[in-house]
């Protein structure tokens, strides 16, 4: 039993104590990073061997967090976590500002995948996988979107047919970021075609490194190949790896979407991620650096852009905290997570657009000497992907209007129609 386990049997570790312990660990073990040190798919492309090395380092950091009793701060203790509060996780996150962290293991591994497993998995499934995730031994991916479905994940065509104690899966999933270096998948499949689409779905989990799964990488506009498409052909999954009840996958799916929105808003208590707002990963310091590189620090227009970007990010921090506390305390519907998703997009949009506007001609053509302006054109063009990934911002607006504000629901013509009778285009 660890020191933390021994003390928490009598008294939970305070937020201040965990923060001090995290600070000491981080300063002694993790590398400091400059502004922009945390890469994302909109900003840069690296060779595959460097990407694998980065993933390996993320696993190492996650293991160090585990070894120092800092992994799974809000995860129940029986599954390897500390069983503490979101405030404790926030203390760890704040201490990580400016330092490396296990970037590749947060989304979608910790959330939505591990969060879904904690909500809907069996005790045996949790014991098998949650500690392995917290140790950095398993990286998970979500097999959710499909080529024919767009944002309508309930329209899944990937099929799962029962064969004794196993299920046979056939179909394709797409836009799975990092599937080529991941270990396990969480997959939504159709198990019943004779009921309306939301009532015939089931969720499964399975290891990815199997001959029956083919992974093809998708090259984006900036050369990035993180997105993948997967093809499953007669993939056998034991029934013990089914999550939730048969044909009740949309119940799991609702929780899945909730955690995905919380993760996209960086407001998910099971995620270890430095602050994203005014002083975080995408803080205003990046905008100042871009203006300085462009020799525009004294330009009133540039200063106005920096001010707008800083304000947008700064307001996001207390908004996300208020949403998280309100949902956790039951004062807000869990559908309010879409507010965080939508505002998270506004922050990211500002942080990817303003440097491009400051760059001038360098935004169209750059070289290695352009520092903070390097790649701003790519980031600007690819930014729209962030408005799609994790559920589109249009979906977030619909959820806010219909389920938070109570406005009339958008008309649907397939709500009570057996899914096999729903018209589909030739690509389906």
C-alpha–C-alpha distance, residues 111 and 105, integer Å: 9
The better pLDDT of the pair 396, 208 is held by 208
**Measured in Å, how far apart are the chain's first and last C-alpha atoms?**
53
Q: What is residue 36's predicted lDDT score, i.e. its pLDDT?
A: 53
Q: Which CATH class is domain 142-249?
A: mainly beta
Domain boundaries, the chain: 15-104+131-138, 142-249, 275-404
Tokens describing residue 92: 């760890």
Got the DSSP string for 28-92?
A: HHS-B--TT-S--TTT----HHHHHHHHHHHHHHHHHHHHTT-S-TTS-GGGTS----HHHHHHH
Summarize pLDDT for 40-92 with one digit per residue, the tens.
555 567 889 999 999 999 999 999 999 999 999 999 999 999 999 999 999 99
Q: 190 forms bridges with which residues in the sheet?
A: 159, 201
Query: How far is CA 305 from each of CA 200, 308, 358, rounded to the nearest angstrom?
Result: 49, 5, 8
Q: How many CB atoms lie within 10 A of CB 417?
A: 14
Check residue 171 and give left, alpha or beta (phi > 0: left; psi -120 to 50: alpha): left
Beta strand 159-163 with 213-217: parallel, antiparallel or unpaired?
unpaired
Percentage of the chain exceeding pLDDT 70: 92
Length of the chain: 428
- Report the predicted TM-score, pTM, of the whole model to 2 decimal places: 0.86
Q: What is residue 1's predicted lDDT score, i.e. its pLDDT?
A: 38
Summarize pLDDT for 258-275 with one digit per residue, the tens.
898 888 777 899 999 988
Summarize pLDDT for 5-41 with one digit per residue, the tens.
444 444 689 999 999 999 999 999 999 986 555 555 5
The better pLDDT of the pair 391, 300 is held by 300
Q: What is residue 414's predicted lDDT score, i.e. its pLDDT?
A: 78
Q: Which CATH class is domain 15-104+131-138?
A: mainly alpha
CATH superfamily to which 275-404 belongs: Butyryl-CoA Dehydrogenase, subunit A, domain 3 (1.20.140.10)
Q: What is residue 262's predicted lDDT score, i.e. its pLDDT?
A: 86
Mean of the per-residue pLDDT values of the chain: 89
Residue 278 has pLDDT above 60, yes or no: no
Longest CA–CA span in the chain (Å) reads 72
């Amino acid at each position: 039993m660890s020191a933390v386990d021994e003390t928490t049997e009598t008294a939970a570790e305070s937020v201040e104590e965990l923060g001090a312990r995290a600070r000491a660990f981080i300063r002694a073990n993790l590398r400091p990073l400059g502004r922009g040190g945390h890469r994302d798919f909109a900003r840069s492309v690296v060779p595959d061997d460097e990407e694998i090395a980065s993933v390996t380092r993320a696993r190492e950091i996650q293991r160090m967090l585990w070894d120092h009793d800092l992994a799974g701060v809000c995860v129940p203790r029986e599954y390897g976590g500390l069983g503490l509060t979101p405030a404790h996780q926030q203390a760890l996150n704040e201490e990580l500002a400016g330092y490396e962290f296990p970037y590749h293991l947060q989304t979608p591994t910790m959330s939505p995948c591990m969060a879904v497993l904690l909500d809907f998995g069996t005790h045996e499934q949790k014991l098998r996988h949650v500690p392995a995730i917290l140790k950095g031994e398993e990286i998970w991916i979500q097999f959710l979107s499909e080529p024919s479905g767009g944002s309508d994940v309930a329209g899944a065509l990937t099929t799962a047919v029962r064969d004794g104690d196993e299920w046979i899966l056939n179909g394709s999933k797409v836009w799975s970021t990092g599937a080529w270096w991941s270990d396990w998948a969480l997959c939504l499949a159709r198990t019943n075609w004779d009921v309306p689409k939301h009532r015939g779905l089931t969720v499964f989990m399975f290891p990815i490194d199997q001959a029956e799964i083919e992974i093809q990488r998708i090259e984006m506009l900036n050369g990035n190949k993180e997105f993948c498409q997967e093809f499953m052909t007669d993939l056998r999954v034991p029934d013990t790896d089914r999550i939730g009840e048969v044909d009740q996958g949309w119940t799991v799916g609702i929780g899945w979407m909730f955690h995905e929105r919380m993760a996209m808003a960086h407001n998910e208590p099971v995620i270890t991620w430095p602050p994203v707002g005014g002083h975080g990963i995408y803080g205003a310091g990046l905008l100042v650096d871009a203006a300085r590189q462009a020799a525009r620090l004294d330009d009133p227009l540039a200063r106005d852009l920096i001010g707008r970007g800083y304000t947008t990010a700064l307001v996001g921090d207390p908004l996300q905290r208020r949403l998280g506390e309100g949902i956790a305390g039951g004062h807000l519907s869990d559908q309010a997570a879409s507010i965080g998703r939508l505002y998270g997009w506004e922050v990211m949009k500002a942080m990817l657009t303003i440097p491009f506007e400051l760059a001038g001609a360098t935004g169209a053509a750059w070289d290695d000497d352009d520092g903070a302006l390097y790649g701003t054109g790519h980031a600007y063009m690819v930014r729209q992907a962030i408005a799609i990934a994790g559920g589109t911002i249009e979906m977030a607006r619909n959820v806010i209007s219909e389920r938070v504000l109570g406005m009339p629901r958008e008309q649907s013509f397939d709500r009570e129609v057996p899914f096999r009778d729903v018209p589909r285009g030739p690509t389906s």
